[in-house]
Amino acid sequence: MASADWFSLLESADKIALAGTGTRKIHYKFADGREMVEEYNLETGVLTKRAWKKSNILKSSKWDVEVGDALSECPEENIGLTESKDAPFVSHRVTKTKLEWRVRNFKYSSESDYNVSLDQSDKCIIIRTSDKKFYKKIPILDLQRLNLPVTSNSLRHSRSLNTLVIQYEKPPELLAFEKKLATELKNVRVVDDKDMDCRPS
């Protein structure tokens, strides 16, 4: 998807805004039935949450969190097989200048035990361990949507307290896109909380 295509999709969606304490939410409804909710920090303008919900005629589907902490599941939706609470899991956050992923419960302490690399063709981050017990392919969706190349010079990682932190420097094209989108979102109609039928957080 080219930058113009992704912007056009966001621009043409039905949008409403909700201003909260220190945050501003944007609720998108797309022509194909999908929904997206974004939450921005009012002071910094930085995206703090993005969640998607697919169209589902039979029943309401769950929100799939792309940016921010995952949503808690209701007990009745969490019956059956679940992942161990000690298993590694990934969360994604955004800063003004970087894209960041945190892999928690990552118990590999030495860099000789794991490797973090980029897949140029798929625009993904790949994490693999030497014992072959953990492999993760993380799509860099912001670059995929704008069809931007990935560069190894932009990738950094560190580890602390069983958490692997991966950062990717935002390219100028992404920063320009975010600025353009912020201008577009200033014109979105603001509604009251009770009128906004979305609760992804």
The pLDDT score that the predictor gives to residue 75 is 43
- What is the Cα–Cα distance from 46 to 122, expressed in whole angstroms? 26
Q: Is 96 domain-assigned?
A: yes
Higher pLDDT, 200 or 114: 114
Q: Is 58 domain-assigned?
A: yes
Q: Is the pLDDT of residue 97 over 50?
A: yes
Q: Is 201 domain-assigned?
A: no
Q: Is the pLDDT of residue 72 over 60?
A: no
Q: Is the pLDDT of residue 197 over 70?
A: no
- Tokens representing 14? 């039905």
Q: Is 200 domain-assigned?
A: no
Higher pLDDT, 56 or 148: 148
Number of domains in the chain: 1
- Tokens representing 117? 């690399």
* Secondary structure letter of residue 4 according to DSSP: H
Helix axes 3-12, 172-185, angle to 10 degrees: 20
- What is the Cα–Cα distance from 51 to 139, expressed in whole angstroms? 16
Task: Tally DSSP H helices, then E strands, for the chain.
Answer: 3, 12
CB-count burial class (<10 Å; 0-12, 13-18, 19+) for 142? buried
Of the pLDDT bands very low, low, confident and very high (cuts 50, 70, 90), residue 74 is: very low
Q: Dihedral (C-alpha) 95, 101, 104, 107: value to the nearest 10 degrees?
A: -120
Residue 185 domain boundaries:
3-69+87-194
Residue that is written with structure tokens 């161990």 in the block: 84
Q: Is 106 domain-assigned?
A: yes
The pLDDT score that the predictor gives to residue 192 is 72
Q: Is the pLDDT of residue 199 over 90?
A: no
Report the run of H or E that residue 38 belongs to, with start and end. Answer: strand 35-41
Residues 72 and 65: beta-carbon distance below 8 Å: no
Q: Is 115 domain-assigned?
A: yes
Of the pLDDT bands very low, low, confident and very high (cuts 50, 70, 90), residue 55 is: confident
Of the pLDDT bands very low, low, confident and very high (cuts 50, 70, 90), residue 20 is: confident
Q: Is 75 domain-assigned?
A: no
The CATH number of residue 17's host domain is: 2.60.40.790
Query: Cα–chain-centroid distance for residue 159?
Result: 21
Q: Is the pLDDT of residue 77 over 80?
A: no
Which among 45-59, 69-83, 150-164 has the top mean pLDDT? 150-164
The pLDDT score that the predictor gives to residue 147 is 95
Q: Is the pLDDT of residue 166 over 60?
A: yes
Residues 104 and 86: beta-carbon distance below 8 Å: no
Lowest-confidence segment of 20-29, 120-129, 135-144 by average pLDDT: 20-29
Question: How confident is the prediction for the chain on average, in pLDDT?
Answer: 88
Q: Is 145 domain-assigned?
A: yes
